[in-house]
Structure 1
Amino acid sequence: MALAGRRARRRGVDIWPGFVDALATLLMAMIFVLLVFVLAQYFLGNALSGREQALNRLGAEMAALAEQLSLEKKANQSLQADLGRLSGQLTSSEAERERLGHDVAALDALKAQLEARVAELDGKLGEAGTALEGERQVSAQARAELALLAQQVEAAKQELARVAAALEAAEKAGADQKVQIADLGKRLNLALAGKVEELQRYRSEFFGRLRQVLGNRPGIRIEGDRFVFQSELLFDTASAELGLEGITQVRALAKTLNELSAQIPKEINWVLRVDGHTDRRPIASGRYPSNWELSTARAITVVQTLVANGVPPDRLAAAGFGEFQPLDKGETADALAKNRRIEIRLDQR
């Protein structure tokens, strides 16, 4: 019995090594799971951080666009206020001239009435004088009537002189008003013509300098008052990222613009407009839902590159027109390629 007890105790002690091994294996498995979880958390955090940076960058771009739009609206409101003020002045001048015209007409009528009255009184005075001259004895009543008539004639003459003076003053004021209105319109037209002519001169110089820099390169042409870059020269298909050739072209444009802007007087409120255009084919890209977004993104890319190369941002504007302003309405490959373009124009705000 004692031997059997000892054997039973020996078998009970032999269970512990296996239990310890199982516990160690379980512990290692838990450590491995925790390690995998920590690594997953790390990579997920990096991915979320990258997306947050992209969202911040997009937010900054949207803020810049909003600021440019606000500047455009303020400039437009200022021009509208100036136009309203000038229109108000002109309307007031027209109303004053019309009032003076009515006054002149009224004075003319009053003058005619007074002249008729004076003629009537002169006739009565003449009749009375003739009658009194024919009579040798003039009564006191006749002399009183004659004196009264003479006073009335004198008062009428004084009133006529006053009306004539008022009429002359009114005519002179009307003439001065007309001269002021004509002079104001002339000075306004001369100022506007001067600004337009000066901007046109710098625009011509800008085009000449840019033509020298770019030369007769394929994919660049002149349409009216703007330079036209074919999109394939600057961007890949369905992309708003400038290629190497596109970066070279935009840097050359920035250099020319910086040299010319130093010569343009500060009082000329000029701006360089960058317009993006696409063809009419729907875009097949998840990044840009429509041609509006693609054309606008390309124009913004060009503007940002110009700013990065020293062009003041307050002298730049970006706009996207999608496929809605084609140069060629045909359906051929050449017509579609002609419509995919970036237009650059020097304009006045």
Structure 2
Amino acid sequence: MGLSRRNSNRGGSDVVWPGFVDAMTALLMVLMFVLTIVLVVQSVLRDTITSQDKQLDSLTAQVAGLADALGLETARADALQAEVGRLGLDLAAAQALGVQQEGQIATLAGLVATREGELASATARITDFEAQVAGLLAERDAAQTRLTELAAARAADQTAMAALREKLQGADAELTAMTLALEAQRQKAEDTLTLLAAAETKAAQDAEILSGKEALLATARAALATETERSAESARQVALLNQQIAALRSQLGELQGMLDAAAAKDVAAKVQLEALGSQLNSALAQVASEQRRRADLEAAEAERLRAEAQDLAKFRSEFFGELSKVLAGRQGVRIVGDRFVFSSEVLFNPGSADLAPEGRAQIAGVVATLNEIAAQIPPGIDWIIRVDGHTDNVPLSGQGEFADNWELSQARALAVVRYMQDNLGFSPERLAATGFGEYQPVAVGDAPETRALNRRIELKLTER
């Protein structure tokens, strides 16, 4: 009967122990799997942040390229400003030279107006580029801030994973210690069962010492009860380990949620980075297109000016050639450079601004020739006949019709213009009257011949 009870106890121990060992093995495998997942997630998060760093570096490089383009545009604007200043100085110098530089003054005035328009346009484009660069820099700073937040989240995740790894290592060590303790307890239980079997065998063989063996059996049973209690304590510790594993799994779920949120932020950051890259590419393309368009406009304007200058020079040459034939041999008319110069004595009576009959005839010949040439001049050339009045340096008394030489020169130029318009039907839009008084002489001195040269009316075909 005692032997049967012993065999039953040993059979229960053999059944429970392999199941416990399998449970501990499965627990170790689960812990290793969890640790592997944590390491893989950490590696993926590190690669994601590295990719965002590279994209941010690329965005910074594109912003630097746009800043360089803005610098080039600013330098171009400064160059235009310098050219406007230089042209202004040339214009002032040309104005000081007077009649001999009128063509250059008109050309320089047109160039100054053109360059001022280009400068205003370049200034507006620079303002737009600066606004775009400021917006892109702000977006880049926001992206850097988001990247910093991701890095902070990654650091927090790494801290949490380090704590989880330490906890897993502690659980592994604790599980190993408990396994060793259970093995020792099992060994003790087997030894106790061996002693109990020996005691029961001895009791069957020797009935005389039954009371002593029964005491030994009671002692063994007490030891077995103690070992049973220890096994129950081990079972409670296993249940506690299961609870800790469940807590670790919960923490792993929270970590996975944090990783999913970080991945979502990463996707949003990538979309924003792509949008910023598209905006930068569009801005750079706009800068290149604007530069090409400005270069084309400058080339077209230069070509147009050259063509107009060539056309006007051709028609001016024809005009002066025809007039030279008409006025050849006439007294008081001479050609000086690109102007026809009429002596005031030929056109006007002394001290008067009324055209003499001889003067009207000569002006009529000029207008007839000009009407033939004007029909051939293209509409795109903005030409005029400028009539300039000049006097000598003899001051007027101020008691007559004119107060001084200014009024006399202007009145004579205006008389020629009105005769061309009112009597000869010449278009007033193509006429200009200018009085220079005594301040643009062609000869210096007080001799009568010198003063006669300075008293003159000049006609010039020029640009407006």
**TM-score band w.r.t. shorter chain:** 0.5 to 0.7
Asked if 1:316 is matched to 2:426, the reply is no
Query: How many Å separate the matches in 1 of 2:160 and 2:307?
Result: 72
Q: How far 1:257 sits from its partner (Å)?
A: 0.7
1:344 equivalent in structure 2: 459
2:250 maps to which of 140, 152, 156: 140
1:167 maps to which of 256, 266, 280: 280
The SS at the match of 1:275 is strand
Query: How many Å separate the matches in 2 of 1:204 and 1:114?
Result: 74
1:298 maps to which of 412, 420, 432: 412
Query: How many Å separate the matches in 2 of 1:149 and 1:286?
Result: 99
One-letter amino acid of the counterpart of residue 257, structure 2: A
Q: CA offsets per residue over residues 7-27 of structure 1, 9 Å max, x none? A: xxxxxxxxxxxxxxxxxxxxx
1:212 equivalent in structure 2: 325
1:260 equivalent in structure 2: 373
Does the C-alpha gap of structure 1 residues 150 and 206 become closer, same or farther in structure 2, counting only changes over 3 Å?
Answer: same
2:441 equivalent in structure 1: 326
Q: CA offsets per residue over residues 240-262 of structure 1, 9 Å max, x none? A: 34445433322221111111111
2:150–2:262 contact (8 Å) kept in structure 1: no
| Structure 2 runs not aligned, ≥5 long | 1-109, 170-244
Does the C-alpha gap of structure 1 residues 332 and 105 become closer, same or farther in structure 2, counting only changes over 3 Å?
Answer: farther
1:107–1:163 contact (8 Å) kept in structure 2: yes
Q: How far 1:341 sits from its partner (Å)?
A: 0.9
The SS at the match of 1:288 is coil
Asked if 1:229 is matched to 2:342, the reply is yes
Q: How far 1:280 sits from its partner (Å)?
A: 1.3
1:7-156 mapped onto 2 (5 Å cutoff): 91-110=123-142, 139-141=249-251, 142-156=255-269
Q: How far 1:273 sits from its partner (Å)?
A: 1.3
Q: CA offsets per residue over residues 136-174 of structure 1, 9 Å max, x none? A: 986432333333333333333333223222322333334
Query: How many Å separate the matches in 1 of 2:454 and 2:318?
Result: 27
Query: How many Å separate the matches in 2 of 1:157 and 1:132?
Result: 30
| Structure 1 runs not aligned, ≥5 long | 1-78
Larger radius of gyration: 2
Q: How far 1:282 sits from its partner (Å)?
A: 1.5
Does the C-alpha gap of structure 1 residues 234 and 222 become closer, same or farther in structure 2, counting only changes over 3 Å?
Answer: same
1:53 equivalent in structure 2: none
Does the C-alpha gap of structure 1 residues 235 and 158 become closer, same or farther in structure 2, counting only changes over 3 Å?
Answer: closer
Q: How far 1:133 sits from its partner (Å)?
A: 9.3
Query: How many Å separate the matches in 1 of 2:144 and 2:329?
Result: 79
Q: How far 1:346 sits from its partner (Å)?
A: 1.5
Query: How many Å separate the matches in 1 of 2:292 and 2:157?
Result: 45
TM-score when normalising by structure 1? 0.61
The SS at the match of 1:311 is coil
1:104–1:170 contact (8 Å) kept in structure 2: no
The SS at the match of 1:238 is coil
1:288 maps to which of 402, 409, 418: 402
The SS at the match of 1:347 is strand
Query: How many Å separate the matches in 1 of 2:352 and 2:390?
Result: 13
Q: Quote the sequence identity (%).
A: 38
1:97–1:178 contact (8 Å) kept in structure 2: no
One-letter amino acid of the counterpart of residue 227, structure 1: F
Q: CA offsets per residue over residues 66-115 of structure 1, 9 Å max, x none? A: xxxxxxxxxxxxx9xx9898876554334223322333444455555566
Q: CA offsets per residue over residues 269-312 of structure 1, 9 Å max, x none? A: 32211111101102357333322332223223322443423433
More divergent stretch after superposition (179-188 vs 162-171) = 179-188
Q: CA offsets per residue over residues 218-268 of structure 1, 9 Å max, x none? A: 543334432222223333322334445433322221111111111123343
CA RMSD, aligned part only?
3.9
One-letter amino acid of the counterpart of residue 256, structure 1: T
Q: CA offsets per residue over residues 23-67 of structure 1, 9 Å max, x none? A: xxxxxxxxxxxxxxxxxxxxxxxxxxxxxxxxxxxxxxxxxxxxx
Q: How far 1:179 sits from its partner (Å)?
A: 4.0
Does the C-alpha gap of structure 1 residues 332 and 119 become closer, same or farther in structure 2, counting only changes over 3 Å?
Answer: farther
The SS at the match of 2:384 is strand
2:392 equivalent in structure 1: 279
The SS at the match of 2:461 is strand
Q: How far 1:187 sits from its partner (Å)?
A: 4.6
1:117–1:156 contact (8 Å) kept in structure 2: no
Does the C-alpha gap of structure 1 residues 274 and 109 become closer, same or farther in structure 2, counting only changes over 3 Å?
Answer: same
